[in-house]
Chain A
Amino acid sequence: MNKRKSADIGWWAHLKNFIRTNTSLTVIILAALLLELTTAILYYSAQNIIQQDMERVMLREMNALNLCIRNKLATVEVTLNNMSWVVGRDLEEDDWMFEITEKLVKENSVINGSAIAFVPNYYPKEGRWFEPSTVRKADGSIENKQVGSANHDYTKSEFYTVPMATDSCIWCEPYMDVDGSQVEVTTYSVPVYDDDGRKVAVVIADISLDWLEDVMNEERVYKSTQRFLTTGSYNLLGGEDSPMFREAVKILKTDGDKEGYFTAKDKHGDKKHVFYAPIGGKTDWVLINILDDNDAFGKLRRIRFFLLLPVMIGLFIVGFIVWRSSRNLERLREINAEKERIGGELRVASQIQQSMLPGHHLHRDDVDIRGSLVPAREVGGDLYDYFIRDEKLFFCIGDVSGKGAPSAMLMAVTHGLFRSASAHDSNPARIMDAINEVACQGNDTNMFVTMFVGVLDLPTGRLRYCDAGHDAPFIIRGERLEVRGEKSATALEVNPHLPIGLFDDTKYTVQEISIQPDSLIFLYTDGLTEAKNAEHKLFGLERIQAVLNTCADNDSEEVLEKITQSVNGFVKLAEQSDDLTMLAIRYTPKQFESTLTETLVLKNDVHEVTRFSSFIKSVTEKLGIETPLARKLRLAVEEAVVNVISYAYPEGTEGDVTIKIMSDGHTLRFQIIDTGVPFDPTKKEKADTTLSIEERQIGGLGIFLVRELMDTINYERVDGKNILTLIKTFKK
């Protein structure tokens, strides 16, 4: 039961599915079916009407013909009946009989001949056979003669035997009158009675059937109508013999009914309508009318054809239109699905893009950073990034030309380039060069990126930056109240450079300023300045500046909130036209108040390390640092010092290496200062300690140990000096 049900549902589902997927085809099929149904109903009702009409017309026509024939025959019948009465009355006069027949023929043009056939030996003097007759000859003359004889034994003839046997009048089978008028004739015969009521003779009248032809050729409604008049045994009386007639007769003979209608096919297979009806009266004659189907229904067929033709053409056109529109619909559906898919992918891309950005928030004792990126579309072409490496804050903000997926891809590439370039370099100009070099390769679409890259040295507050066509960041200097007067946001002075991705020979230059503690750096993309309200007014620099002026004591999160509130209040319900990206950096370095400072100056010679060993041991002892930690500190600083001794000065030249140890009781700061060539040991790649001994590089181990053992390492070149700072907290 259930199985059956599910099969039914399956069938229904299949149908529904078919209709859904082939809507146009279904519509066309339904329309065609409907049209066909309408046409069929129309056709069959019309056919019925025509059929009824035809039958009525034929019946009327045949009735008229019937009447016509009956009238003619009735004349003969009445005359002959009267004649039989006259003959019966005047039986005594046998000569008188010729006068009777002659009179009959003369006065009735219809009658070709007449005779009175007496029973044998009625008039003994006339012999056994006596049949006085009058015949109208072909030339119109009239001849009387006695025709009864041994050779002409009428007593065996139908016209004699039937009335004699049945006491009735009959119309006999037609025959060719070879003796008289040379035409086909038929005979009416009436019995004659004497006064005693005995049958003594029959009177007969021959009538030519010529007039029948005229009757048969009477005007007809259907031109194709063929008319036939037959005797009861279907011998042809009138009309032209034809195969179709014989075919109809064959059917009639089996039918037996005297009146009716049927259809038959002729030898060509054409349909014919056959109507037949008895003439009645004293005859058993039958009138048969045969007409072509085409004659009756041809017009209808033509109408159907001419009706069907435009309907088919219309159906074809409608089908074509429906097919086209459904194809368009299908295409639209595909496009929508494609859109949906791309939309979905863009959403994923957007998530990936968002996940590539650093966390929205980074908070440390010395720096507080918050970023925000609101794309105008699903994925944006803006980027920001920041990270801290070796006590340097690397940050950037960028805006790729255009919006949407292509710019998002370039944004992702740029972001990756920034990360890889800044992994080993802390010079913003060189980072910019590196990004530009790669970005220019194969940039056939001429998309470009405006970008700002900054590197803030956290221990010293030295900010180096490079601007590639990007809006200059704002800075609020964290000067002391009495010095700064009104705190005001000012745009950072930037050297103009071309954006990234246009020309690979663009030279980027680095700029440098010193950032005071408590300063705020605010970076943004033009999505902020060019945020439009409903009146198409831009948010503009002044508004940003005005908001920032109120942000002197806010942390980075509050700054972004204020700006966002302000821009939202300005834009209101207008659609966001561009990506909106902001980055706020609050620099809050701790003041390091040294309670102990020890300095050692070495020559650039490894043997001087012995002096360093004594020096650091005495300092760690002074600070009461336990041996294991003391050994770690010693190892780290020794490695850093040896590194500087080995690389800061070219071989054969002499120079000093100054080691400064400072402590505030909790944290130790080691500064290794030299005046040699610029040398940044933090740029060295980390040694890979997982490699096998054969693969291990011996070099790089020293700086690796420094990174492992110290909390932070930081390099700066200031005033022609390399300053390497190592920091370690030894007491909480």
Chain B
Amino acid sequence: MNTKIEEIDAKYVATLEGEMDTAAAVEAEKVLKPIYNSNGKDVIIDCTNLEYIASSGLRILISILKGAKAGGSKVVLRGVNDDIKNVFKLTGFISIFEFE
């Protein structure tokens, strides 16, 4: 899978592409770790091309969310597909993330 972070309009935009299984999550975490503390900047996570996510991937998203909340900023998930949204529903995370 591909993972990258950009800073656009004083917001972090993290783009996740492909399938984030447990093994991929280990790699993705290395990339995403810098925005675990977003320094008050909002974070947009672009999931438009994310096909699959395992619970280890969810953990990364939770870590980003916890960091952002601590800094007073928000996290928005963009372009989440139905299957992944279903996972968010199952786990109850649907209510703690913002989707657009």
Binding site for B on A (CB under 8 A): 606-610, 612-613, 627-628, 631-632, 634-635, 638-639, 642, 687, 689-694, 696, 698, 701-702, 704-705, 708-709
Complex partner residue of A634 from B23, B52, B62, B69, CB under 8 angstroms: B52
For chain A, what secondary structure do more than half of its interface residues adopt (helix, strand, loop), or is it mixed? helix
CA distance A709 to B83 in the complex (A): 12
Check B23 against A635 for contact (C-beta < 8 Å): no
CA distance A698 to B52 in the complex (A): 19
Contact status of A635 and B91, CB under 8 A, knowing A606-B22, A606-B26, A628-B83: no
Check B54 against A642 for contact (C-beta < 8 Å): yes
Closest CB pairs A-B (n = 9): A689-B92, A609-B23, A609-B22, A610-B23, A701-B55, A702-B55, A642-B22, A693-B96, A631-B83
CB distance from B27 to the nearest CB of A (A): 9
**CB 8 Å contact bits of B18-31 with A (1 = contact, 0 = none):** 01011110100000
CB distance from B39 to the nearest CB of A (A): 19
Check A689 against B91 for contact (C-beta < 8 Å): yes
Complex partner residue of B69 from A687, A693, A705, CB under 8 angstroms: A693
CB distance from A612 to the nearest CB of B (A): 8
Check B62 against A698 for contact (C-beta < 8 Å): yes
User: What residues of B have a CB within 8 angstroms of the CB of A612 in the complex?
Assistant: 21
Contact status of A609 and B21, CB under 8 A, knowing A642-B56, A693-B65, A701-B55: yes
Complex partner residue of A693 from B19, B23, B26, B66, CB under 8 angstroms: B66
Check: B87 CB closer than 8 A to any chain A CB: yes
**CB 8 Å contact bits of B56-85 with A (1 = contact, 0 = none):** 101100100110010000000000001100
Check: B90 CB closer than 8 A to any chain A CB: yes
Check B62 against A638 for contact (C-beta < 8 Å): no
Check B26 against A635 for contact (C-beta < 8 Å): no
Binding site for A on B (CB under 8 A): 19, 21-24, 26, 51-52, 54-56, 58-59, 62, 65-66, 69, 82-83, 86-87, 90-92, 96
CA distance A88 to B26 in the complex (A): 182
User: What residues of B have a CB within 8 angstroms of the CB of A708 in the complex?
Assistant: 90
B97, closest chain A residue (CB): A693
Other 10 A-B pairs with CB < 8 A, given A609-B21, A693-B96 = A627-B83, A628-B83, A631-B52, A687-B91, A691-B92, A693-B69, A694-B66, A696-B62, A702-B55, A705-B87
CB distance from A203 to the nearest CB of B (A): 154
A702, closest chain B residue (CB): B55
A-B contact pairs, 29 of them (CB 8 A): A609-B22, A610-B21, A612-B21, A613-B19, A613-B21, A613-B23, A628-B83, A628-B86, A631-B52, A631-B83, A632-B83, A632-B86, A635-B55, A639-B55, A642-B22, A642-B56, A687-B91, A689-B91, A689-B92, A690-B92, A692-B96, A693-B69, A693-B96, A698-B62, A701-B55, A701-B58, A701-B91, A704-B91, A705-B91
CA distance A628 to B52 in the complex (A): 10
The number of inter-chain residue pairs (CB within 8 angstroms) is: 68
B87, closest chain A residue (CB): A635
User: What residues of A have a CB within 8 angstroms of the CB of B69 in the complex?
Assistant: 693
CA distance A609 to B55 in the complex (A): 13
Complex partner residue of B54 from A607, A627, A639, A687, CB under 8 angstroms: A639
Pick the most buried of B24, B55, B65, B87: most chain A CB atoms within 10 A of its CB.
B55
Complex partner residue of A705 from B23, B90, B96, CB under 8 angstroms: B90
CB distance from B18 to the nearest CB of A (A): 11
Check B23 against A606 for contact (C-beta < 8 Å): yes
User: What residues of B have a CB within 8 angstroms of the CB of A610 in the complex?
Assistant: 21, 23-24
CA distance A487 to B91 in the complex (A): 51
CA distance A689 to B88 in the complex (A): 10
User: What residues of A have a CB within 8 angstroms of the CB of B21 in the complex?
Assistant: 609-610, 612-613, 638
A687, closest chain B residue (CB): B91
CB distance from A354 to the nearest CB of B (A): 37
User: What residues of A have a CB within 8 angstroms of the CB of B83 in the complex?
Assistant: 627-628, 631-632
CA distance A627 to B55 in the complex (A): 19
Check B54 against A638 for contact (C-beta < 8 Å): yes
Complex partner residue of A698 from B59, B82, B90, CB under 8 angstroms: B59
User: What residues of B have a CB within 8 angstroms of the CB of A696 in the complex?
Assistant: 62
CA distance A705 to B65 in the complex (A): 21
CB distance from A113 to the nearest CB of B (A): 151
CA distance A687 to B80 in the complex (A): 23
CB distance from A577 to the nearest CB of B (A): 54
CB distance from B78 to the nearest CB of A (A): 19
User: What residues of A have a CB within 8 angstroms of the CB of B24 in the complex?
Assistant: 610
Check A608 against B23 for contact (C-beta < 8 Å): yes
CA distance A612 to B69 in the complex (A): 35
CA distance A143 to B83 in the complex (A): 173
B82, closest chain A residue (CB): A628
User: What residues of B have a CB within 8 angstroms of the CB of A701 in the complex?
Assistant: 55, 58-59, 91
A616, closest chain B residue (CB): B21
B51, closest chain A residue (CB): A631
CB distance from B68 to the nearest CB of A (A): 11
Check B55 against A693 for contact (C-beta < 8 Å): no
User: What residues of B have a CB within 8 angstroms of the CB of A634 in the complex?
Assistant: 52
CA distance A562 to B62 in the complex (A): 60
User: What residues of A have a CB within 8 angstroms of the CB of B23 in the complex?
Assistant: 606-610, 613
CA distance A649 to B52 in the complex (A): 27
A709, closest chain B residue (CB): B90
CA distance A709 to B51 in the complex (A): 18
CA distance A632 to B86 in the complex (A): 9
User: What residues of A have a CB within 8 angstroms of the CB of B62 in the complex?
Assistant: 693, 696, 698
CB distance from B21 to the nearest CB of A (A): 5
User: What residues of A have a CB within 8 angstroms of the CB of B96 in the complex?
Assistant: 692-693
Check A635 against B52 for contact (C-beta < 8 Å): yes
